[in-house]
Structure 1
Amino acid sequence: MRRVPVPARPHRLAVFCGALALVASCGWQGQADEGPLPGAPRGVTAEAGSATSVHVMWNAVAASQGIDGYEVYRGTTKVKEVPGDEHMVDVPRLRPSTTYSFTVRARDTDGRVGPPSEQVRATTAAAGATDRAAPTAPGAVEGRVVGSRAVQLSWSAAKDDRGVASYDIHQGGTKIHSVSGNQTATVVTGLRPGTRYTFTVRARDAADNASPASTPVRLTTPGTDEGRGTAPSGFRATTHRGDADGAYYIDLSWVPPRTDGVVTEYQVHLDGKAATSVVFAGDAPREKATYSFYAGSEAGVSHRVRLRARLPDGTWGGFSAERTVTTGETER
């Protein structure tokens, strides 16, 4: 089969500047002489950690000037600032049974602050009678390496007389993540190849009582960065012919990689070269993602296609399997 370059279709770019956007066309633009402002953080989530605290997470933002820090807002009030290499924070001193809204803004090394993220909401747990009894330590903690920059942790549920509100994951002596009390597994990304790590898990109840640490899990990431554990899975590619224009389109579908945050951006490679970046605004898909793009007007043209995800820590994950499609035919 012949392989030919994909014809440019610049007039289609505007179609994606909504729920699905092409980064180059829809990015936040600042003054030209200073470079663009930092973009709005994506993948922001908020989860109640107790009756008086909420855990806020977001994806790392790339900026031409570098990211100096992030500002976290509760409503219109700035409540936290964190360094640029951190992408999560606990917001304490909240009221029980109350819904709060949060946004995050990135600040570059020139001190310029980008636009706010989408607003997310979380409702704190109800306050019960005085509770001084901490949950038991999570049991049966296990871990496995999933590539050179990620590990998967799982544990059995802790016990508490009034219920577990959340679990905190610690790397060494530092808390690096929190998940809800009904979750007993997570994937930690942003690790370094060829490095030994120690993880423990603690349970928290609605009164903010923390359990003892679980038995530690020690894992060593491999020294090569093949990225298999962070690659999209179930990748499929087919083609179809448009009814309106008679042109051919490549249709992609995949399962997003499991991470400790939300994946909002993917890079599509066509015939060995980066073709486009796809950004999901709003609720990014977690179970199955799809995307379709123009592939020319000629039938019988073959293309190789694969993609990778930008992980919440700002790094690129591993590539999916590569598929070959021919316009007018199904995938091979």
Structure 2
Amino acid sequence: MRRVPPTLLRALVCGALLVLASCGWGARTPGRGEGPPAAPQGVTAAAGSATSVHVMWNLLPEDPRVARYEVYRGTTKVKEVPGSEHMVDITRLEPSTTYVFTVRARTTAGVPGPPGKAARATTPAAAAADRTPPTRPGGPHGRTVGSRAAQLSWAKSSDARGVASYDIYQGTSKIHSVGGAQTATVVTGLRPGTAYAFTVRARDAADNLSPASDTVRITTAPGSDDGRGTAPTGFRATTHRADGAYYIDLAWIAPEVDGMITEYQIHLDGRPVTSLVWGGDAPRGTNHHSFYVGREADAAHRVRIRAKLPDGTWGGFSPERSVTTGRQ
């Protein structure tokens, strides 16, 4: 691994990767009332049909408290949703058209924040005189992922002109959509020790909706667990020395969840030391990060990491790794 000089490392950290602890993001100004909320991270957009797009983003922290999210198509506000929600369907769109969506938060005091990164989606072509819905999704399965999440999967539906998306329902309420090529999803933000019933329906470009799949019934584990099902995997930690200082080098694989994970928290020796927010597109596979730990050789440290999930909750911790400066 090529060693990065500290000056370059600091520039990279405060550029592509925003380090809240050192770069001052999210700071509040005393005596000036409630500050603006941050820009929503992890904004994605995916066509649900020839005339609809599913927009999703990550919930912001509650300080300052977010009253609602505003969704814009270009410069036009097209939807508002409560601050507890992080997805919405934008309808009445044109087929075969590319749209650009942004999301901004507004506090309970009415203070708006900046828009998040723009997300683009292109609606498919309309299917002329198509009134035939896709077949119902088959073989649905589900399993709990600890006390706060569930993984669902199903068999593909068929349609003469292709499936544009799958809608996931919790009881009678639609809670999510995924692309037509996807046959699995992870639902987070569930309550411990609670019974849930999920179904899946397929949608084609003409907005024809299939019958619901068989019901998947699961009950989350009681009490609080370590959230291991939503923890980063493949976590590794090593050290290197550069310009007389020691750094811990981390590598991990992002948890498999729908939406984008843009924030991680690193714990060193049992306490949080850094929150990382990706300034650009967050990697969906392997992530890397290095941070300064001092100039002392043979210093032993324990390190672990966890991700903030798109629903605003923290996922489980990775396994804890032990490293010693000056040793590999």
TM-score category (smaller protein) = over 0.9
Higher deviation after alignment, 31-40 or 319-328: 31-40
What residue is the counterpart of 1:232 in the other structure? 232
Taking structure 1 as the reference length, the TM-score comes to 0.93
What residue is the counterpart of 1:116 in the other structure? 115
- After superposition, the Cα gap between the structure-2 partners of 1:96 and 1:30, relative to the gap in structure 1 and judged at 3 Å, is farther
Supply the distance in 2 between the matched residues of 1:75 and 1:22 (Cα, whole angstroms): 30
Aligned pair count? 320
1:85 partner SS: coil
- After superposition, the Cα gap between the structure-2 partners of 1:269 and 1:30, relative to the gap in structure 1 and judged at 3 Å, is closer
Q: 2:281 aligns with which of 283, 302, 307?
A: 283
What residue is the counterpart of 2:201 in the other structure? 202
Supply the distance in 2 between the matched residues of 1:29 and 1:267 (Cα, whole angstroms): 17
Supply the distance in 2 between the matched residues of 1:256 and 1:300 (Cα, whole angstroms): 30
2:294 partner SS: coil
CA RMSD of aligned residues (A): 1.6
Question: Does residue 252 in structure 1 map to residue 250 in structure 2?
Answer: yes
Supply the distance in 2 between the matched residues of 1:80 and 1:13 (Cα, whole angstroms): 39
What residue is the counterpart of 2:263 in the other structure? 265
Deviations 1:128-154 (A, max 9, x none): 221000001100000000111100000
Runs of 4+ in 1 over 3 A off after TM superposition: 9-15, 28-32
What residue is the counterpart of 1:214 in the other structure? 213
For structure 2, the residue ranges without an aligned partner over 5 or more in a row are 1-5
What residue is the counterpart of 1:4 in the other structure? none
Q: CA deviation at 1:304?
A: 0.2
1:207 partner SS: coil
1:1-332 alignment runs, 5 A limit: 15-24=12-21, 25-28=23-26, 32=30, 33-226=32-225, 227-242=227-242, 245-330=243-328
Q: CA deviation at 1:213?
A: 0.5
Supply the distance in 1 between the matched residues of 2:158 and 2:212 (Cα, whole angstroms): 13
For structure 1, the residue ranges without an aligned partner over 5 or more in a row are 1-8
Deviations 1:220-277 (A, max 9, x none): 00112221111111100000111xx121110000011111211100000000010110
Supply the distance in 2 between the matched residues of 1:281 and 1:133 (Cα, whole angstroms): 44
Supply the distance in 2 between the matched residues of 1:267 and 1:143 (Cα, whole angstroms): 29
Supply the distance in 2 between the matched residues of 1:71 and 1:279 (Cα, whole angstroms): 22
Supply the distance in 2 between the matched residues of 1:167 and 1:64 (Cα, whole angstroms): 34
Query: Is contact 2:133-2:210 (8 Å) kept?
Result: yes
- After superposition, the Cα gap between the structure-2 partners of 1:11 and 1:253, relative to the gap in structure 1 and judged at 3 Å, is closer
- After superposition, the Cα gap between the structure-2 partners of 1:19 and 1:12, relative to the gap in structure 1 and judged at 3 Å, is closer
Deviations 1:257-316 (A, max 9, x none): 111211100000000010110111221011111100011112111100001111111111
Q: CA deviation at 1:29?
A: 5.4
Supply the distance in 1 between the matched residues of 2:288 and 2:191 (Cα, whole angstroms): 30
Query: Is contact 1:56-1:89 (8 Å) kept?
Result: yes
Query: Is contact 2:148-2:188 (8 Å) kept?
Result: yes
- After superposition, the Cα gap between the structure-2 partners of 1:127 and 1:21, relative to the gap in structure 1 and judged at 3 Å, is same
Q: CA deviation at 1:15?
A: 4.3
